Structure formats: C-alpha cells, structure tokens
Amino acid sequence: MPDTPQSKLIKAKQAWAAAGRLITGKPDTEHAERLPPGQRLVTNWPVLDLGVQPAVSLADWELTIDGAVAQPLTWRWPDFLAQPQIQSVSDIHCVTQWSRFDNLWQGVSTQHLLAQVQPLPGAAHVILHGYDGYSSNVTLENFAGEDCLLAHSHDDASLNRVHGGPLRLIIPQYYLWKSVKWLKRIEIRRDDAPGFWEVRGYHNEGDPWTEQRYN
Ligand SMILES: Nc1nc2c(c(=O)[nH]1)N[C@H]1C(S)=C(S)[C@@H](COP(=O)(O)O)O[C@H]1N2
Ligand SMILES: [Mo]
C-alpha cells in the first residue's frame, strides 16, 4: 500500500489492535448499563471508512447474494424496494469508543433475504463486500439476528453517501465495523474468511459487551 495519509491511519489502527488499546477489562455480560464498557455516548454521528466513499447511483446499484445458497440472486434498486420493508431501532457501538443510541433504520431484514436465497446445509458464514473494496465477516447465525437489516434509511431520511448509502448492512449486536457500508455483495459460505479489519488484528466476532475489540 502506498504511504498516503489514509494508509498511515490504517497502520496506526492496526498497531492499536496489536497493543490491545482501549480495552478496559471490565466486561458487562449482563448488560447492566446501556452503554457497553469503554464506550462514550455521542449525539452526532462520526464517519469512519477507508477514505474512499463510492458514489453509486440508484440506476447502477446492484446487490448480489451468492455462494452456498439454493437461489442466488441479484437485486437492482426497484427489486430491492419491492421486498417487504421493516423498521427497527438500535444502538450502534464503534470500536473507536463512541456509541449512538436509538437509531431508526428502515430496509429489508436479513431474515427475509435468507428466506429468498435459501442457504444450503452446512452454510455457516457470511462475507459482506462493499463497493469500496472493504469487507467484513459474520457468522450466519449473527447475520440472521433479530434487528439485522439492509438499511436504506436512517432517522426517516435516505441514508447519505458518507454513511453508506444507497444501502448498508446493520448488525447492531456487534461493533460497527461489521456493518458494511455501500453494500455490493453478500457471500454465504461454509468456511469463514476474515475481512479487512479482521486480518489486521480486529476480533473475528466483535461483541461490545465483552469487549471483543482485538484478537
Ligand atoms: N464499505 C465500508 N463499510 C464500512 C467501513 C468501510 O471502510 N467501508 N468501515 C467500517 C467501520 S471501521 C466503521 S466504524 C463503520 C462506520 O460507519 P459510519 O461512518 O456510518 O459511522 O463502518 C464500517 N463499514
Ligand atoms: Mo471502525
């Protein structure tokens, strides 16, 4: 990678992961507090990504779901909007220590998506790919979590580009690095494949309550 300011930031975050920075050692497995250990509440919404924020027009947008599924599919924007829409409210927690409460999301549930593609027996992992080349991995079980959705709106407005519009994933039970912005492809697999931050020292899971920040 060339030594751009962005690649310096990536190297710095990788070094923090190696050093276990920000870990408080006080897991809150009972969720006694609403704020996970080591987090602070913000009311704004910080932007974090690799510094490339792809502009994907609705006319060009496509989402492919493939891999270990009986019915792989590609949705263009009208196909996506034709799916049943849900709303859900969740808190988000970033590994860089900020949390934001009560985010209203609208979009299509991951459970609905899975019912369409029908994962094959043995499918156990999901790799999320963004239009910017970013990726992250979650287990199929976590991907299918209650409040997980493909979100096109946040707090009653279309998701803007910096936060991953037209469409991003939301996996509220994990740190936000798993919630891939500018979602392009959902790959369902039998074996795992660690994503961008997971190969750079971040935890393979990412539960904020037990501070699964780094591995
Ligand atoms: N496509 C893509 N998704 C991404 C990222 C990225 O660089 N590219 N960064 C992740 C990280 S590390 C974080 S903390 C959140 C930040 O989301 P936000 O900018 O909407 O707060 O997006 C996640 N999803
Ligand atoms: Mo992040």
What is the distance in A from the centroid of ligand 2 to the CA of 78? 30
Look up residue 27 and give its amino acid.
P
Q: Whose CA is nearest to atom 24 of ligand 1?
A: 180
The answer to whether the CB of 46 is under 6 A from ligand 1 is: yes
Q: Whose CA is nearest to atom 5 of ligand 1?
A: 49
* Amino acid 2: pLDDT: 60
Give the C-alpha separation, 195 to 135, whole Å.
Answer: 5
The second-level CATH assignment, the architecture, of 5-45+56-210 is: Alpha-Beta Complex (3.90)
Q: Whose CA is nearest to atom 7 of ligand 1?
A: 49
122, with CB counted inside 10 A (0-12, 13-18, 19+), is: exposed
Q: Whose CA is nearest to atom 2 of ligand 1?
A: 181
* Amino acid 4: pLDDT: 80
Range list of H helices, 140-182: 140-143
Mutate to test the pocket of ligand 1, among 176, 183, 200 (most ligand atoms within 8 A of CB): 176
What is the distance in A from the centroid of ligand 1 to the CA of 121? 31
* Amino acid 161: pLDDT: 98
Give the C-alpha separation, 179 to 142, whole Å.
Answer: 12
Q: What is the pTM of this model?
A: 0.94
Structure tokens at 125: 């992992």
The answer to whether the CB of 202 is under 6 A from ligand 1 is: no
The answer to whether the CB of 177 is under 6 A from ligand 1 is: yes
205, with CB counted inside 10 A (0-12, 13-18, 19+), is: middle
Running along the chain, 215 residues long, what does each successive block of 10 average in pLDDT? 76 86 83 93 98 97 99 98 98 98 98 98 98 98 97 98 98 98 98 98 98 96
- Quick one: which of 79, 63, 64, 47 has its CA closest to 164? 47
What is the distance in A from the centroid of ligand 2 to the CA of 165? 17
Structure tokens at 131: 């239009």
* Amino acid 126: pLDDT: 99
The answer to whether the CB of 176 is under 6 A from ligand 1 is: yes
- 114 phi, psi to nearest 5 deg: -65, -35
pLDDT digits (tens, 9 = 90+) for 93-116: 999 999 999 999 999 999 999 999
Q: Whose CA is nearest to atom 16 of ligand 1?
A: 48
